[in-house]
Amino acid sequence: MQVARLVDVDPAARPYYRALADGVRTLIMDGQIPVRVRMPAERHLAETLKVSRTTVTAAYDLLREGGYLESRQGSGSWTALPDPAVWPDNPWLGTDRDGLIQLHTAAPAAPAALTAAMAAAVEDLPRYGMGNGYDPMGLPSLRERIAARYTARGVATRAEQIVVTTGAQHAIHLVMGLLTGPGDPVMVESPTYPHAIDAARRLGARLVPTGVSHEGWRPDLVAGAMLQSGARLAYLMPDFQNPTGALMEDAVRAAVAGAARRAGTLLLVDETWSELALDEVPRTSPMAAFDTDNRVISIGSASKLWWGGLRIGWIRATAALARRLTMFRSAVDIASPVLEQLVVARLFDRLEETRAERRRTLRASRDTLAAELRARLPEWTFEPPRGGGALWVRLDGAGSTPLAEAALSHGVRLAPGPWFGLEGTLEGYLRLPYTQPPSLLADAVTRLRAARDHGPTGAPRPSDQLIAMV
């Protein structure tokens, strides 16, 4: 009974039924218990928690009154959200030139190595100009470097297993588009990368959330979600997960891979942040290292380690699946730009240099953001991640959507918690990236304190526009 395992109520709480209702409500709003999930029968939950059935009945009544539970005669009780449940749209495109401090995106500025890599790529370009410029799998020189990096990380990989894409988001769309269809169950973490949710929804998939926190994943819950839903595919981000920053231990990776094997679920593993450890962390192997039956498909990107403007990503799969993905992409974009691929190939030659630069700059920004939050907003709680690009902050009762609205008039653009979840959950959370310079982050926290304490300033808010959120 997965719900019973998640509920953690102090046995001494009084009245217990109210504490139980509060605990379940929090789990629903945090996305740990999905919406439209059947709750245990009152008698069964009472037996598991070792309380009276009357206590559980009273808790369920409170949840129904608040709109968090719906009951149907003969069908049991199902989780819900109060009506109307309003959450913000998830914007896709736009600009960062509106004068706001951009805390809606976790993408760093270009590293020092980019200029030299671009100059070298321009010198390399003429010898490619004699051809038509279309290479659907990607330039061999880049695919060889990507394969070599996987091999160095402990997963033997050949260039024919790599497909170069126009960013990781493109990779997600290609894999989901080829391997899932309308109505297929697709498991996603909650919270997770918003554009993965959008990609699955656009394909008509049935989303199956499984909870993850800064403490990590519960392998039993992940396994249960895959088995019970019959998930065709599961999207996971085990390396400094976006937005929690959690790092999946090898034992958990092995357990998840085993569960996927038993459930018949394909694993789409997003390794976008895998190169960005900021502190000393236990050495972990790529999820593909635990794959015994070609079930793991890995994707990566140049955006976080190097620069989002390059729009280069990649897929690692079996050689046969790589060929299928290459054929499938022909309806979308045929191939990725040659010059940008040459730039990324050159950047791979300076990978360790850039990793060291990112560790230095992102660590300084992370530590500044954490210190400023503790000093100015001590009621907000978080666990600084050991890598990645953002803090996942628990607010002190205020919703992140109204806070994001207020922050606009204070000159800060935010990504509220519901962007990272399903059905309007995660309102009590806020993702705060530390990919900006320390001085800008300190200024942003001062503005956030004002937005929280005083609301909008009354100044005109920036004109509505579509914005990129990564």
Residue ranges matching CATH 3.40.640.10 in the chain: 113-352
Model's pTM, two decimal places? 0.82
More confident call, 12 vs 421: 421
Q: How many Å apart are CA 248 and CA 330, to the nearest integer? A: 35
Nearest Cα to Cα of residue 389 among 275, 313, 299: 275
The pLDDT tens digits of the residues spanning 374-386 come to 999 999 999 999 9
pLDDT of residue 92 exceeding 50: no
More confident call, 14 vs 245: 245
The reported pLDDT for the residue numbered 467 is 52
Q: What is the mean pLDDT of the chain?
A: 90
For 257, phi and psi rounded to 5 degrees?
A: -60, -40
The pLDDT tens digits of the residues spanning 195-220 come to 999 999 999 999 999 999 888 999 99
CATH code for residues 113-352: 3.40.640.10
Overall average pLDDT of the 432-459 stretch: 91
User: What residue type is 216 in one-letter code?
Assistant: G
Q: Which of the four pLDDT bands, split at 50, 70 and 90, describes residue 89?
A: very low
The reported pLDDT for the residue numbered 83 is 59
Question: Do you know the residue count of the chain?
Answer: 470
% pLDDT > 70, the chain: 92
CB 266 within 8 A of CB 179: yes
pLDDT of residue 120 exceeding 90: yes
Q: For domain 2-79, which architecture applies?
A: Orthogonal Bundle (1.10)
CATH class of the structural domain 101-106+355-454: alpha beta
Nearest Cα to Cα of residue 409 among 464, 450, 457: 457
pLDDT of residue 85 exceeding 60: no
The reported pLDDT for the residue numbered 84 is 43
Q: Which of the four pLDDT bands, split at 50, 70 and 90, describes residue 96?
A: low
The reported pLDDT for the residue numbered 391 is 98
